[in-house]
Chain A
Amino acid sequence: MSGQWKTTAVAVWLVLGAGSAAAAEFRVDVTVPALAVAEYHRPYVAVWVETEKGRHQQNLALWYDQELKDNEGTKWLKDLRLWWRRSGRSLEFPVDGLSGATRPVGTHTLSFAADSPQLATLPAGNYQLVVEAVREVGGREVLRLPFSWPASTQQQALQGQHELGSVTLNITP
């Protein structure tokens, strides 16, 4: 009897453990597409959360050229013009926990726990995940994926047309 209890308890614990690890995950996959262009530079990309009315809430990622000397890469941040207006212009660079290097062609995953600093303070409501990409000597593209918070099982996917490949959002409670 006591052995059976023990087994049950372990099983429950395992389920809960698995639940909290995979769970409450907010996963964004951003594909940087391969482009057949004469002069290619990796895109600058900003990823953030806004309310359904477009009010900026939280920055999730910012990829820009951090290799240049004297922080020269920040010169082109204003070309992420929506993000620059909503948030960037009032920040100091680099921003800890936000700034990252530009990414090569391929799919890149951003993963946030529900209790991460980026999401923990998000009030219940309807939001949009915004991904904006701009490329030197190239174009600009913005994709918006709607979601609601707090976390419930949600999946959204959009296909970019020229600067972004697929962008998917997977929320698991």
Chain B
Amino acid sequence: MNVKQLAVGTLMALGLGLSVEAQAHRAWMLPSATVLSGENSWITVDAAISNSLFYFEHHPLGLNNVQILSPNGKPVAAQNPATGKYRSVFDVELSEEGTYTLQSHNQGVFARYTLDGEAKRWRGKAADLGTIPAAAEDVKVSEIDTRIQVFVTKGAPTDVTFVPTGHGIELVPETHPNDLFTGEPVAFGFLIDGQPAAGLDVVLIRDGIRYRDQVGEIELMTDAQGKLTLTFDEPGMYWLETETEQDSRVLKDAKRRLSYSATLEVLPL
């Protein structure tokens, strides 16, 4: 079945207009540690969607799409998952030496609509757009590709888990994300669907927004090779985020919204 045709057909049948919705809030995962030593190593990870960083004050991050890759590239199961009012939590046992990549990768379609005067949200696959009630009004649909990542290293850093998949926005670290120190140059590459992402706006925000008057965003742009270079002045946990949009590949007259975010720890020397 042709997904694009189906989606368009469905929407036309619904008689709906399409538009892009700006993404609100900040989604993140926050690990209890990014650098570990020893033998029986565990981390616990908070996952939330919030305004301020890194505080739980709005919504938990769903854990359905969380994937964990071990240093050898093997999938690892999250343990003790729980979702509360403001945050989700899970644990990871680090049984291998090297770098683990944790991610929540969401691909699909996002819709908002009004039904009987009530605002609704819908997430799913393009093929399932037909499940939006026919009586829905004001339907706004977009294709999404959202990736949230965290890196954690036991022992020496490794890079097996950095192999790009070719889907959405991906980080290709030149500087290892668990080897970030103040005063040292850092270089990151970004890809969109496997191709260097030139001119991508990237924002970095340090944790502890609650205790200062200004957010203090570090605003950067990738160069022609999709590369970003910076030097951190202050240590801390940083939230890196970038987003872009292009025409949807599966929905006619709709946008595809891509975003990437990561939580990075910068240590003082």
Contacts and interface: CB of A to CB of B under 8 A. Distances in A.
Interface of A: 70-78, 81-82, 84-85, 88-90
Interface string B15-57: 0000000000000000000011111110000000000000000
Interface string B212-250: 000000000000000000000000000000000000000
Contacts of A81: 35, 267
B62 to A, nearest CB: 31
Given A82-B269, A85-B179, A74 B155 contact: no
Contacts of A85: 179, 181
B37 A89 contact: yes
A75 B155 CA distance: 11
Interface of B: 35-41, 153, 155-157, 179, 181, 267, 269
Chain A facing B: main interface SS:
helix
A73 B153 CA distance: 18
Contacts of A75: 36-41
A70 B37 contact: no
Contacts, number: 41
Nearest to A72: B38
Nearest to B34: A78
Nearest to B33: A78
B45 to A, nearest CB: 18
Contacts of B181: 85
A73 B37 CA distance: 9
Given A89-B155, A89-B156, A78 B36 contact: yes
B22 to A, nearest CB: 39
Given A82-B269, A85-B179, A77 B38 contact: yes
Q: Which of A71, A73, A78, A90 has the most CB of B within 10 A?
A: A78
Contacts of A89: 35, 37, 153, 155-157
18 contacts: A71-B38, A71-B39, A72-B38, A74-B38, A75-B38, A75-B41, A76-B37, A76-B38, A77-B38, A81-B35, A82-B269, A84-B37, A85-B179, A88-B37, A89-B35, A89-B153, A89-B155, A90-B155
